[in-house]
Amino acid sequence: MARLEILEFPDPRLRTRAKPVETFDDDLRALVDNMLETMLAAHGIGLAATQVNRHIRVLVLDVSDDQTDPRVYINPRIVDEEGSRVCEEGCLSVPGIYANVQRAETVRVEAQDRNGVTFQEEVTGIHSVCLQHEMDHLEGKLFVDYLSPLKRQMVRKKLDKQRRQKLADQQKSPARPAP
Ligand code: NI
C-alpha cells in the first residue's frame, strides 16, 4: 500500500469530472486500498479519487468514531433523498477551512463495491453528508463552491498564507538528510 498525494484547492485538476469505472481489476482494488490508507493517515473521514488525481468514480469513507468501518462506493448515484440539514464541513483538499453547507438529511445510494457487485444503502446524518460531499468531488465540485464569491476569495487568501508559512517554517529548520 502507498500514500497518495492529495491535491489542494485551487488546483484546476480538482475540477475534472470523473469517468465511470468499467473494469474491476487488481489495479482498481489497489487504488481503493491506497485511498483508504491516505484518508486515514490524513485523519479524514472521506476521500474521492479526484483528490488523488485519478479521475474515475471511486470514493471511500469512514465515519465511525474509531475509524474501523471503511466503506467503498464505486459509480455511486443517489436514487432517493429526504429532508435537509446544515452541517459544518471541511475537506482534505481545503485544509484548515470549515464552513456550513446545506445537504439532504437522508439519501438512498446505489453503488458498486470493489468487486463490481451493485448494492443499495440508505444513509443519514454525517454518513449522508460525507457521501454527498465526496460525490461532489467526482463532479469537480468543492464545498467552498457553496460559499459566496467573497468568502471563497477569503479562503484562497487564507490557504496562500498557510502555504507561505509552511514554506518559511521548512526553510528555518531544513530536514536533515537521512543517513
Ligand atoms: Ni473533500
Q: What is the pLDDT of residue 77?
A: 98
The CA distance from 177 to 74, in Å, is 41
The CA distance from 118 to 88, in Å, is 31
- Is-contact 75 111, C-beta < 8 A? yes
B/e letters for 17-35, b = 16+ CB within 10 Å, e = fewer, are ebeebeeeeeebeebbbbb
Q: Kindly state the helix (H) or strand (E) to which residue 150 belongs, with its residue range.
A: helix 149-172
Which among 5, 81, 89, 134 is annotated as catalytic?
134
Neighbours of 147 (CB within 10 A): 17
Residue 145: what are its φ and ψ, rounded to 5°? -65, -20
Q: Kindly state the helix (H) or strand (E) to which residue 58 belongs, with its residue range.
A: strand 58-61
The CA distance from 92 to 43, in Å, is 9
Full pLDDT tens readout for the chain, 179 residues = 799 999 999 999 999 999 999 999 999 999 999 999 999 999 999 999 999 999 999 999 999 999 899 999 999 999 999 999 999 999 999 999 999 999 999 999 999 999 999 999 999 999 999 999 999 999 999 999 999 999 999 999 999 999 999 999 988 876 666 66
Q: What is the pLDDT of residue 177?
A: 66
- Is-contact 82 109, C-beta < 8 A? no
89 forms beta bridges with: 99
Q: Would residue 81 show up in a list of annotated catalytic residues for this protein?
A: no
User: Looking at the whole model, is its pTM more than 0.75?
Assistant: yes
Q: Which three-class secondary structure string do you get for 77-93?
A: EEEEEEEEEEEEECCCC
Query: Which residues neighbour ligand 1 (ion) by CB within 5 Å?
Result: 91
- Ligand 1 centroid–CA 136 distance in Å is 8
Q: What is the pLDDT of residue 156?
A: 92
Residue identified by cell 475537506 is: 91
- Ligand 1 centroid–CA 12 distance in Å is 15
- Ligand 1 centroid–CA 112 distance in Å is 21
